[in-house]
Structure 1
Amino acid sequence: MADFVAKLTELQYYILAGEASEIVNHLCQCGSGLYCNVKCHDCFQYKATCEKCYIRDHFHNPFHWVRVWQREGWYLKADISYLDNNQYTIQLPCSRGSLCKEPTNPNIVTLVDMNGIHGTRISYCGCNGDPDRVQQLMNARLFPGSVRFPRTLMTFRVLDDYMKQNLASKKSLYDYIRALRSLSDGFFTQEVLDPHPQFRLATHIWRKLRIDKHTGQAHNLSAAFPHQIPGSIVQFCLACPKDGFNMEEGWERTPPELK
């Protein structure tokens, strides 16, 4: 502890130095003519770049918080949709390639991830006419809050993370959502969107889907265990003796001392 106390001033300096960048308001090296006014603290050692480079670098990480340099001398924490004059839209994968040439009009959605709650824009692939929104969202590992017209989305990893925390520490869903809202904005938390009702519904459905997957019911495992109750979610133990499955014929004649 004494070693750290001696370095407190120096450590604080490094923290404050990371809140700015030496190349802010310098032209980006990409040659676009734009200034290096955005950063990402979710990426490891991401240097300040222009908006164009940031969007290119975060094509597969669109839920990182973007830090946009303000004229007053500080970084504004915002969703990626804040870029491109507050019109940037996350495009879901296209069946014909990485970028759809016929995307749908942007949809404003609330997206819940492990780093907070985002108010963002997404567009669906419209190559085949009216898009199957649920299919496209699930393929992008986003769980819809509704199967009709999703307005709230949850990443698979945030649902899994809540399940783990609820199992390990009995953390309530209310406290978990409150923590995510604080991560989004620790000063004006009350202004952050509250997806509590949709998230609660999603966790019930997610738990059922996970149980069916882990117990094998999603693969029709009951067909191999006809002596079990059809559709049972009781986990099957292959080591436990089961007549007609992993026990030799005539086992009932085994001497008592060998049973």
Structure 2
Amino acid sequence: MMAAFEKHFDKLQFAILERKYDPKAGTNCACGAGRSLYRCQDCFTSISSCQQCLLRSHVDPPLHHIQRWTGTHFERTNLGDLGLMLFLGHSTSRCPNAPTNSNKRPTVIIHTNAIHKLHIEYCHCAHATDKPTQLSSAGLFPATTEKPETAFTFSVLKEFHTHTLSSKKSAYDYFIALQRLTNNVFPDRTYVSTLYVHSMRPYNPTFVWDLYREFLRVARVWKYLALTRF
């Protein structure tokens, strides 16, 4: 089996490394309004673009890994810091009844590919449901029913449930993998670069384990609902 691949090793390695290089990085964007400084690692075609083009193309898939060209190399950034807003209740549009001074709630979202951060704008219509229900309607399971600041995508809960059934993977191992997907160099410092919701609070190296405890709680609730209510 290896012999069949061996004669293609050089070409395969070149193709893998070629994806890390982008000749358009730093050049003018195709829209003509900015420079191509950003690219998505999760989109099938990882084409560099300006910030505005990137945000427009990620209104619907807001949980992708983004890189920024520094002039010498690409570095990890995220859509939340670039200004992407997640609107609830009106597809991808802002609620028409939202007050102009409404506070966008910073929220940590745990997905299958990493731990993300986004600002969420809730629906303010008279018939709007409460915040936990709005999150759930968007495929995000809240970590608490009181002023949720953390949510888990249905995808990550389904995937973890499948892993526990098929390979008996522990919640600890699964969560550690999510940390490494977020920051593989310093996985124990995930909260430093990503979890900014409590950034104004004193330094707390155990904050990431607060997320782990929330993950345990939500996973149990999800499993119960899957067994009795779905």
Which of the five TM-score ranges fits, normalised by the shorter chain?
A: 0.7 to 0.9
Q: Aligned partner of 1:100: which letter?
A: C
Q: Distance in 2 between matches of 1:3 and 1:45?
A: 28
Structure 1 partner of 2:50: 50
Higher relative contact order, chain-length normalized (CA < 8 Å, sep 6+) = 2
1:166-219, Cα deviation, whole Å (9 max, x unpaired): 0111110011000110111110111113221111110111111111234xxxxx
Asked whether the equivalents of residues 59 and 92 of structure 2 are also in contact (C-alpha less than 8 Å), the reply is no
Q: Which residues of structure 2 form unaligned runs of 5+?
A: 192-207
Percent of paired sites with the same residue: 29
1:106-139, Cα deviation, whole Å (9 max, x unpaired): 2222211000111332222234499721121011
Q: Cα–Cα, structure 1 residues 99 and 119, in superposed 2: closer, same or farther, change >3 Å? A: closer
1:11 Cα offset (Å): 2.4
Asked whether the equivalents of residues 26 and 37 of structure 2 are also in contact (C-alpha less than 8 Å), the reply is yes
Structure 1 partner of 2:13: 12
TM superposition score normalised by structure 1: 0.74
Structure 2 partner of 1:201: 217
Q: Which residues of structure 1 form unaligned runs of 5+?
A: 215-259
Q: Does 1:60 align with 2:55?
A: no
TM superposition score normalised by structure 2: 0.82
1:131-152, Cα deviation, whole Å (9 max, x unpaired): 7211210111100001001111
Q: Cα–Cα, structure 1 residues 188 and 129, in superposed 2: closer, same or farther, change >3 Å? A: farther
Structure 1 partner of 2:158: 160
Q: Distance in 2 between matches of 1:75 and 1:202?
A: 35
Q: Cα–Cα, structure 1 residues 49 and 96, in superposed 2: closer, same or farther, change >3 Å? A: closer
Superposed CA RMSD = 2.1
Q: Distance in 2 between matches of 1:143 and 1:6?
A: 48
1:97 Cα offset (Å): 7.3
Q: Does 1:172 align with 2:193?
A: no
Q: Cα–Cα, structure 1 residues 182 and 26, in superposed 2: closer, same or farther, change >3 Å? A: same
1:77 Cα offset (Å): 1.9
Q: Cα–Cα, structure 1 residues 57 and 9, in superposed 2: closer, same or farther, change >3 Å? A: same
